[in-house]
Amino acid sequence: MIALDPSFLAVQALSGLSSASSLFITACGLTIVFGVTRIVNFAHGSLYMIGAYTAATLIPRLLEFSFGPTAFWAGILASALIVGVIGVIIEVVLLRRIYGAPELFQLLATFGVVLVVQDLVVQVFGPEDILGPRAPGLRAPVDILGRRFPSYELALIAAGPIVLGLVWLLLRRTRFGVLVRAATQDRDMVASLGVNQALLFTGTLFLGAFLAGLGGALQIPRVSANTGMDLAIIAEAFVVTVVGGMGSVPGAFLAALIIGQLQAFGILIFPKSTLVVVFLLMAVVLAIRPYGLFGRAEVIGGTHAVGIASRKPQPGRPFILLFTVAALAGFPLIADAYLLKVATEILIFALFAFSLQLLIGVGGLVSFGHAAFFGLGAYGAALAVKWFGTSMETALPLGLALAALGAGLIGAFVVRLSGIYLAMMTLAAAQILYAVAFQWVDVTGGDNGIVGVWPSRWASGPVPYYLLTAALTLVAVLLLKRIIDAPFGYALRAARDSEARAEAIGLAIRRHRWLAFIAAGAAAGLAGGLYAFSRGSVDPSLLGISTSVDALTMLLLGGIQTVIGPLVGAGALHALRDWIMPLTPLWRLFLGLSIIAMVLLFPRGLVGTVRDRWEARA
Amino acid sequence: MRGDVLLDIRNLRAFYGRAQVLFGLSLHLYPGEVVALVGRNGAGKTTTLKAIMGLVSATATHATFKGHSLSKLPTYRIARLGLGYVPEDRRIFTDLTVEENLETGRRTAEAGRSPWTPERLFRLFPNLGEMRGRRGNQMSGGEQQMLSIARTLMGNPDAILLDEPSEGIAPVIVQMMAEAIRAMKAEGVAVLLSEQNWAFAAGISDRACVIERGEMRFQGSMAELMADKALREGTLGG
């Protein structure tokens, strides 16, 4: 146990304040942009990262010309301005086209920007981390109650309130600010008063990106600019904006203060689990106040959900089923071991994506943390094998059960929320599990994960394991399909299309949604378990944001409004990866651009687009 | 004396998704006149005003304001031509103070006209003058209605589309609303008024248009409509 003497506590509190400042400056931009545009900008973290890289590259050159605080701070400001301009470009090229799109598409499109920026940053600045210069005039540590404390951190502590004050003045004392606040509340009315929204939005994006760039640039004396900064900061910035209430600047400030202190002192209680503490805070706040500390319910509602509609049963259904079974069963006759391995993986991800379809397409519940259930299934199975020595036949159901249990718990929390808050909360839940898997090394093996998770002898080898996967996937998909077409599925759709009306006719929509979470979680858990045994190992990345985004991308590729869309999407994404990745090191760039193109050009997905053509001709 | 037609809409059709709501109705507005758009609940009055502002998808064979075509113009451009809009649910920015709400509507007046200023508007609506720093969410329905009209006047419009100004408001304030509309008219601002409160509309309007199920049933002077009891009972219920 660390001795709790006053000087230690003081230094700890101060470092909490300085991280709060940095976090606030970045999150403030995110919350302003969300308030006006209603877009949760995943790329905000990328802008932060660009700010850090730009400053770390630019400022040393400025300091060569004239060494001194002026050059340093001018460099910080210039970097933030450059990032502001990049934000404007992103707004004009992409965001402007998706303001009216469903939330899911907005999240995915901005995540596409994240991928593009990740590759571009490496191209422009090189693959090495860049160590920035220390600030002239703030290099010597100061003495705080006998302990040394970096003076730059004190400057950061001051920067937070200064930015808060300036943003406050901007929003309260200028016409731009008044219009931004008005648009945060009611965009259409602002247009009816003759305000050009496009300009207002572009201005807002400039401000938001400027703040992200500023936040990033201010980091360079503390940490070197690196390619992991974007996703690290975006997760924390999301928590700050959600806890503070989306769109609320003072809320973001308060939330950043709380989180900074929680991180500073959380280390004393849970030395390894600062991430868990932060996301637990978010879970608690949202459970008590579903719209954050200073947030409020959406004034202008209207459902943003898109999903599958009711369709007449296709004629010849039994034949389709028979054909599918025959095709799946006959595939090993024509495929080699490699193709079978690929097919097994596609089937697993198809099941994973299909389970998400139940939540998003049918229930309108945009879960952004579906990896949680996939990972729980995989870890459940792997832990059963590792710690209890069970066989695959026992481990798979155990994994499924763990995922269903997790879905029941998480679902109970999130069914109270709606729209973007639900997306953020599911993301947070997945991040908590990710942190647990990553940090609880004794049980989960930490970063290395668990190895030696092999199938039973009868199922090992490409052909038997493929057949097992195909059979289980088919059964699970048919069961889910049955659920979708049953009255339960209709109730979910009714709640998706109009919560108020569904409630008025007596549907217990929260319970339906909760059950949907459990069903979807169980199916995703089965997929996760199958994945663990197909690979022989599990690791925390199965629970990561990118796994959740994979599922969403498959759904988007295939088409949200169709039942077989996810299956096609899983195949398409896999094929895309297999083709592009060996061809170019810039696969993230291509994947990101493909996602953006899908959102802009084929929002109905491959299956949906083909079917539209088909029906238009008929 | 009337001058050129200010707002000229012909054969207006509007849709919510695939459902058609307006079936080719035409109307026009001259400078400085008050025209009442009357009809039952759901007849299409609000949709007509929204369609003119470009807030719902609509087509028309001819739609001009001051000679400028309105078709395919975004809402803010329509507003900038000098066409103000006061929605039925008032849509005050509740986080903003009275003065800030007025600021959102401010646009420079055309040369040669005396522009509306907060001070002038506070003389027109004395209640607002007493609560300049108050936020929208602490105001009564009637006060919000006044603020909504004042906010639109800050844009110095030539005409205002006023949706149900008397709805859900205390009788005393309805009287003030009528005064305000007369004052606007005196300033040369034309008003197209959607209204279910028949007595209120009759007291302030020069002409009336009767809408029924998305079609225009009658256009003429207030006096003609007053005289035609059968039409009134058939379309307005009294």
Give B8 or A599, the one with higher predicted confidence: B8
Residue A3: both structure tokens together: 């001795």
- Residue A604: pLDDT band with limits 50, 70, 90: confident
Q: Would you say B158 and B66 are in contact if contact means Cβ atoms under 8 Å apart? A: yes
| A181·B100 Cβ contact <8 A | yes
Residues of chain A in contact with residue B70, where contact means CB-CB under 8 angstroms, are none
pLDDT one-digit tens code per residue, A68-99 = 899 999 999 999 999 999 999 999 999 988 88
Q: Select the residue of B79, B91, B103 nearest A178 (Cβ to Cβ).
A: B103
Compute chain B's Rg from CA coordinates.
17
Does residue A603 have a pLDDT over 80?
no
Task: Tell me the DSSP string of A233-287.
Answer: HHHHHHHHHHHH-TT-HHHHHHHHHHHHHHHHHHHHHSTT-HHHHHHHHHHHHHH
- Determine what percent of chain A is predicted with pLDDT higher than 70: 94
Instruction: Please give the pLDDT value at position A587.
Output: 81
Instruction: Please give the pLDDT value at position A139.
Output: 82
| A195·B76 Cβ contact <8 A | yes
Helix (H, G, I), strand (E, B) or coil at B195: strand
Cα gap A410→A279, rounded to integer Å: 13
Does residue B197 have a pLDDT over 90?
no
**What is the chain A residue with the closest CA to B79?**
A194
The number of residues making up chain B comes to 238
Cα gap A275→A283, rounded to integer Å: 12
**What is the chain A residue with the closest CA to B106?**
A193
Cα gap A478→A351, rounded to integer Å: 10
- Determine what percent of chain A is predicted with pLDDT higher than 90: 46
Does B96 touch chain A if contact means CB atoms closer than 8 Å?
A: yes
Task: Report how far apart, in Å, the C-alpha atoms of A494 and of each of A301, A407, B11, B114 are.
Answer: 16, 22, 36, 54
Q: Tell the burial category of A116 from Cβ atoms under 10 Å away from its Cβ (0-12, 13-18, 19+).
A: buried
Residues of chain A in contact with residue B55, where contact means CB-CB under 8 angstroms, are 188, 192
Instruction: Please give the pLDDT value at position A234.
Output: 87
- Strand-pair category, B207-212 with B34-38: parallel
Q: Would you say B102 and B118 are in contact if contact means Cβ atoms under 8 Å apart? A: yes
Residues within 8 A of B (CB atoms), A 264-323 only? 299
Instruction: Please give the pLDDT value at position A598.
Output: 84
- Residue A302: pLDDT band with limits 50, 70, 90: very low
Cα gap A143→B36, rounded to integer Å: 76
ipTM of model = 0.90
Q: How far apart are the first and last CA of chain A?
A: 75
pLDDT one-digit tens code per residue, B132-169 = 999 998 999 899 999 999 999 999 999 999 999 888 88
Does A175 touch chain B if contact means CB atoms closer than 8 Å?
A: yes
| A181·B94 Cβ contact <8 A | no
Does residue A611 have a pLDDT over 80?
no
- What is the Cβ-side half-sphere exposure of residue B134, based on CA atoms within 13 angstroms? 14
Mean pLDDT is lowest, of A61-75, A471-485, A580-594, B136-150, for A580-594
- Residue A166: pLDDT band with limits 50, 70, 90: very high
Does residue A525 have a pLDDT over 50?
yes
- Strand-pair category, B7-16 with B19-29: antiparallel
Instruction: Please give the pLDDT value at position A49.
Output: 97
- Residue A247: pLDDT band with limits 50, 70, 90: confident
Question: Average pLDDT in the A596-609 region?
Answer: 79
If you search the block for the tokens 């800050």, which residue do you land on?
A: B154
- Residue A249: pLDDT band with limits 50, 70, 90: very high
Residues 6+ apart with CB under 8 A from A458: A464
| A196·B76 Cβ contact <8 A | yes
Mean pLDDT of chain A: 87
Give A563 or A368, the one with higher predicted confidence: A368
CB atoms within 10 A of CB A166: 10
Long-range Cβ contact pairs of A37-41 (< 8 A, separation 24 or more): A37/A95, A37/A99, A37/A201, A37/A204, A37/A205, A38/A99, A38/A420, A39/A95, A39/A98, A39/A99, A39/A106, A39/A110, A40/A103, A40/A106, A40/A107, A40/A110, A40/A238, A40/A246, A40/A420, A40/A423, A40/A424, A41/A95, A41/A110, A41/A208
Task: Tell me the DSSP string of A39-56.
Answer: ---TTHHHHHHHHHHHHH
Give A541 or A335, the one with higher predicted confidence: A541
Does A128 touch chain B if contact means CB atoms closer than 8 Å?
A: no
- Residue A301: pLDDT band with limits 50, 70, 90: very low
Question: Average pLDDT in the A471-489 region?
Answer: 91
| A181·B93 Cβ contact <8 A | yes
- Residue A1: pLDDT band with limits 50, 70, 90: very low
Does residue A606 have a pLDDT over 70?
yes
Instruction: Please give the pLDDT value at position A30.
Output: 95
Mean pLDDT is lowest, of A342-351, A383-392, A552-561, for A552-561
Does B100 touch chain A if contact means CB atoms closer than 8 Å?
A: yes
| B91·A179 Cβ contact <8 A | no
Task: Answer whether residue B178 is part of any domain.
Answer: yes
Does A191 touch chain B if contact means CB atoms closer than 8 Å?
A: yes
Residues of chain B in contact with residue A197, where contact means CB-CB under 8 angstroms, are 76
Helix (H, G, I), strand (E, B) or coil at B8: strand
- Strand-pair category, B7-16 with B58-59: antiparallel
Q: Select the residue of B101, B103, B107 nearest A194 (Cβ to Cβ).
A: B107
Instruction: Please give the pLDDT value at position A609.
Output: 75
Q: How far apart are the first and last CA of chain B?
A: 33
Mutation pick from A168, A176, A189, A296 vs chain B, by most beta carbons of B within 10 Å, is A189
Residue B8 phi, psi dihedral angles, 5° rounding: -135, 110
**What is the chain A residue with the closest CA to B49?**
A192
Does B89 touch chain A if contact means CB atoms closer than 8 Å?
A: no
Residue A74: both structure tokens together: 């001018």
Instruction: Please give the pLDDT value at position A272.
Output: 63
Task: Report how far apart, in Å, the C-alpha atoms of A485 and of each of A308, A515, A556 are.
Answer: 11, 15, 21
Mutation pick from B18, B75, B90 vs chain A, by most beta carbons of A within 10 Å, is B75
Give A261 or B112, the one with higher predicted confidence: A261
Element (H, E) at A191: helix A187-192
Highest-confidence range of A72-76, A548-552, A604-608, B55-59, by mean pLDDT? Answer: A72-76
Cα gap A68→A78, rounded to integer Å: 16
Cα gap B208→B198, rounded to integer Å: 11
CA angle B235, B237, B238 (to 5 degrees): 115
**B219 - beta bridge partners?**
B209
Does residue A348 have a pLDDT over 80?
yes
Question: Average pLDDT in the A159-166 region?
Answer: 95
Task: Tell me the DSSP string of A57-126.
Answer: HHHHHHHHHS-SHHHHHHHHHHHHHHHHHHHHHHHHHTGGGSTTS-HHHHHHHHHHHHHHHHHHHHHHH-
Task: Answer whether residue B1 is part of any domain.
Answer: no
Helices (H), B81-189: 98-105, 118-124, 126-129, 141-153, 171-186
Residue B26 phi, psi dihedral angles, 5° rounding: -125, 145
Q: Would you say B83 and B52 are in contact if contact means Cβ atoms under 8 Å apart? A: yes
Does B99 touch chain A if contact means CB atoms closer than 8 Å?
A: no
Q: Which of A364, A348, A343 is nearest to A417 (CA)?
A: A364
Does residue A564 have a pLDDT over 80?
no
Instruction: Please give the pLDDT value at position A300.
Output: 39
Residue B96: both structure tokens together: 């903003």
CB atoms within 10 A of CB A452: 9
- Determine what percent of chain B is predicted with pLDDT higher than 70: 97
Mean pLDDT is lowest, of A14-18, A273-277, B79-83, for A273-277
User: What 3 state SS string does A322-373 have?
Assistant: HHHHHHHHHHHHHCCHHHHHHHHHHHHHHHHHHHHHHHHHHCCCCCCCCHHH
Question: Average pLDDT in the A3-32 region?
Answer: 89
Task: Answer whether residue B125 is part of any domain.
Answer: yes
Q: Which of A194, A175, A200, A181 is nearest to B155 (CA)?
A: A194
Residue B23 phi, psi dihedral angles, 5° rounding: -115, 65
- Residue A100: pLDDT band with limits 50, 70, 90: confident
| B104·A193 Cβ contact <8 A | yes
| CA A400 to mean position of chain CA atoms | 23
Cα gap B6→B160, rounded to integer Å: 11
Does B75 touch chain A if contact means CB atoms closer than 8 Å?
A: yes
Question: Average pLDDT in the A104-124 region?
Answer: 91
| A193·B151 Cβ contact <8 A | yes
Does residue A174 have a pLDDT over 90?
yes
Counted domains in chain B: 1
Q: Which domain holds residue B90?
A: 7-236
Helices (H), A367-505: 371-388, 392-414, 419-439, 441-444, 462-485, 487-497, 499-504
Give me the torsion for CA of A168, A37, A106, A29, rounded to 10°.
-10
Residues of chain B in contact with residue A299, where contact means CB-CB under 8 angstroms, are 94
Q: Select the residue of A181, A197, A299 nearest B96 (Cβ to Cβ).
A: A181
Task: Answer whether residue B226 is part of any domain.
Answer: yes
Element (H, E) at A446: none
Does residue A431 have a pLDDT over 80?
yes
Q: Would you say A453 and A537 are in contact if contact means Cβ atoms under 8 Å apart? A: yes
Query: Which DSSP state fits A310?
Result: P
| B96·A186 Cβ contact <8 A | no
Task: Answer whether residue B179 is part of any domain.
Answer: yes
Q: Which of B26, B24, B22, B25 is nearest to B43 (CA)?
A: B22
Mean pLDDT is lowest, of A58-67, A569-578, B10-19, B92-101, for A569-578
Question: Average pLDDT in the A191-208 region?
Answer: 93
**A447 - beta bridge partners?**
none
Instruction: Please give the pLDDT value at position A312.
Output: 56
Q: Would you say B46 and B61 are in contact if contact means Cβ atoms under 8 Å apart? A: no
Q: Is the dihedral of CA B21, B26, B30, B35 positive or negative?
A: negative
Task: Answer whether residue B2 is part of any domain.
Answer: no
Instruction: Please give the pLDDT value at position A422.
Output: 86
Cα gap A595→A114, rounded to integer Å: 11
Task: Report how far apart, in Å, the C-alpha atoms of A206 and of each of A202, A203, B115 are.
Answer: 6, 5, 33
Instruction: Please give the pLDDT value at position A438.
Output: 87
